[in-house]
């Protein structure tokens, strides 16, 4: 597997802190939430579909403190695989109306033999799912935010993504932003929370 950093700093790996906020949008509120998000976007939104595999370490790998790993493949014409390494511990930041998750992550681009490579590293597929929806890039208080509004689809049997069906008619919304410096963490938290709260009550935190 070849890897390439998604970050802007030199070197093959870049650890970043990612602020995330998750919730649910009922189907009858979908158009209203999309319109609200588009009103704070500077670019056109894009439809997306991707396939994610949650990998689990075997007992030997687990004993060495291996991180949680997820493999993701875009389902467009040009398929692209990536790996996300997630920190062991999550830090939950709570405000009166919003809940925000902060986690260190590393994401790298990979070849399509990623599952074979990760098997050699002591990982196997735990479960998998497909996401289909819209990706938007809101800008608020000078901060670039990513909003992904999607249906979560269950894969009925291993790797049979063509047969994936929505688990629920409701849409999931994930609001996320990268915090490049610890000193800007509060600004990123407040801005993501403000965007989430602006979508209430159509957006229900999960």
Taking the chain (206 residues) in runs of 10, the rounded mean pLDDT of each run is: 34 75 96 97 95 90 76 92 82 61 90 91 94 97 97 96 97 95 90 94 92
Q: What is the pLDDT of residue 158?
A: 92
CA dist., res. 196 & res. 43, Å (int): 19
Q: What is the pLDDT of residue 206?
A: 82
Q: What is the pLDDT of residue 68?
A: 87
Q: Is the Cα dihedral 175, 181, 183, 184 positive or negative?
A: negative
CA dist., res. 178 & res. 17, Å (int): 6
Name 171's Cβ contacts closer than 8 Å, sequence gap at least 6.
Answer: 24, 25, 26, 27, 30, 133, 149, 150, 151
Q: What is the pLDDT of residue 100?
A: 75
Q: What is the pLDDT of residue 49?
A: 97
CA dist., res. 203 & res. 86, Å (int): 26
For 120-137, letters b (16+ CB in 10 Å) and e give eebbeeeebbbbbbbbbb
This prediction has a pTM of 0.87
Q: What is the pLDDT of residue 93?
A: 59
């Amino acid at each position: 597997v070849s890897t390439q950093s998604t970050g802007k700093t030199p070197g093959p790996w870049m650890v970043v802190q990612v602020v995330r906020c998750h919730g649910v949008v009922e189907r009858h509120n979908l158009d209203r939430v999309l319109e609200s998000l588009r009103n704070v976007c500077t670019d056109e939104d894009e439809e997306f579909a991707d396939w994610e595999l949650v990998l689990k370490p075997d007992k030997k790998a687990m004993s060495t403190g291996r991180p949680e790993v997820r493999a993701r493949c875009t389902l467009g014409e040009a398929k692209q695989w990536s790996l996300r390494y997630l920190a062991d511990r999550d830090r939950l930041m709570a405000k009166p109306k919003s809940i925000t998750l902060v986690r260190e992550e590393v994401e790298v681009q990979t070849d399509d033999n990623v599952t074979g490579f990760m098997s050699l590293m002591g990982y196997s597929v735990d479960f998998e799912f497909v996401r289909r929806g819209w990706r938007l890039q809101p800008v608020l208080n000078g901060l670039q935010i990513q909003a992904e509004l999607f249906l979560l689809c269950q894969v009925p049997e291993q790797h049979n993504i063509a047969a994936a069906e929505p688990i629920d008619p409701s849409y999931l919304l994930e609001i996320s932003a990268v915090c490049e410096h610890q000193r800007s963490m509060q600004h990123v938290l407040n801005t993501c929370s403000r965007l989430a709260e602006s979508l209430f009550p159509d957006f229900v935190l999960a």
